[in-house]
Structure 1
Amino acid sequence: MEKIDDFTLGEIHLALTLTKGHLEVEVSSARGLPMASSGQEPDTYVKMYLRDGDRRLQKRKTRVARHSKTPGYHQTLRYTAHDALGRTLLAMVWEKQRGFEHNQAIGVAEIGLSNLEGNKPLEGWYRLLPVTSVVRDDSDSADSVR
């Protein structure tokens, strides 16, 4: 089996802030993403979930960033604070496929939300891990883990 080094799947930059009863997640950019299976730079988007045990809740998505291994998303996704606190945030980077092919999960970052404090942003680069190491079902249409 091929060894995956720390940054083979890339990283995602996120800033999380609790403000006015909401968790705001600023999805800035990604870097070091792998090339698409076609050999071209990938079209990607980020899909976020709150995770409670094995269940994925409240899906949010960014727009697609085209043809880049270092895409800029520059979007803020919001959750209500009472839904988010004590849970885990999953940030999954997806490669959008052309035609009738299924979109492919590139990697996932998992961020615990129990340490968030009001008005104190949690910001940084999060390493993308293989999706199978964090979730059991990586299909694009699945809203909960089986």
Structure 2
Amino acid sequence: MDSYLPIRGRIPTLSLPRRMEEWLTSAPSIICIVLFAYFRGEAHLGEFVEGLGPGQLVGRQVLGMPCLGEIQLSFFDRKGHLEVEVIRARGLQQKNSSKALPTPYVKLHLLDGKQSVEKMRTSAPARRTLDPLFQQQFSFSTSYTDKILQVSVWGEYGRMDKKVFLGMCEIVLDDLNLRSIVFGWYKLFGMIAASTHGSG
């Protein structure tokens, strides 16, 4: 978990002194690379990534990854149990080799380290779309303390029950104040977690 850093809300970009910005525009590329490595180590990773959801966990590798869409979630603590609503997703990416749109669904894994201790899955929306509306609620019986919620989006294309990965995000649940409902849009990236839990 050393390469993953929990980040809350909208994060500003790194601000540099004006003289340094002017110098960087004319500096050799190797110097820029060295400076970037320095700032990456010294500054919070979130300063390079904008628009993350509350508590969203990302690793350094997302700096070179395209965003694959976004998913809207809500969280609430009801009598010590985590309640999650998968509200909607938007801007999902269509598979290049297919002319048809996918029928998306969402998998939720409650992670203790790399181990999935409880999992849920949405039912697919009624139509094929890249902007699905789910509005489905889930209640986890396992304690969410010190846990991470992994949310992955998959698409069914209907051919031989083929399922395609569309994107994922991870949320540090201890970073959320669940005394009231927390809403957020979360950026979806490629396989950023070491653990995988299949496509079923």
TM-score range, shorter chain: 0.7 to 0.9
Q: Return closer, same or farther for 1:125/1:100 CA change in 2, 3 Å cut-off.
A: same
Of residues 69-78 and 34-43 in structure 1, the stretch that sits farther from structure 2 once superposed is 34-43
Does 2:103 correspond to 1:12?
no
Task: Please report the RMSD computed on the Cα atoms of aligned residues, expressed in angstroms.
Answer: 1.8
Q: Quote how far apart the aligned CAs of 1:138 are.
A: 5.6
CA-to-aligned-CA distance 1:34-76 (integer Å, 9 cap, x gap): 1144222221000000011111221100010231111000000
Superposition deviation, residue 101 in structure 1: 4.5
Is residue 2:70 matched to residue 1:25? no
TM-score scaled by length of structure 1 = 0.83
- The alignment-based identity, stated in percent, is 32
Q: Secondary structure at the match of 1:13?
A: strand
2:143 partner SS: helix
TM-fit CA distance, 1:22: 1.5
Paired letter, 2:133: G
Rounded Cα–Cα distance in structure 2 between residues aligned with 1:67 and 1:55: 32
Q: Answer whether contact 2:65 2:189 (CA < 8 A) is retained.
A: no
- 1:1-146 to structure 2, matched below 5 A, reads 4-5=65-66, 7=67, 9-36=68-95, 37-65=97-125, 66-80=127-141, 83-131=143-191, 133-137=192-196, 139-141=198-200
SS of 1:83's partner is: coil
Tell me the distance in 2 between the aligned counterparts of 1:22 and 1:13.
20
Higher helix share: 2
Q: Which runs of 5+ in 1 are unaligned?
A: 142-146
Give 5+ residue unaligned stretches, structure 2: 1-63
Instruction: Look up the equivalent residue of 2:164 and give its one-letter code.
Output: Q
Higher relative contact order (CA 8 A, sep 6+): 1
> Secondary structure at 1:28's aligned position in 2?
strand
In structure 2, C-alpha distance between the alignment counterparts of 1:95 and 1:119, rounded to whole Å: 33
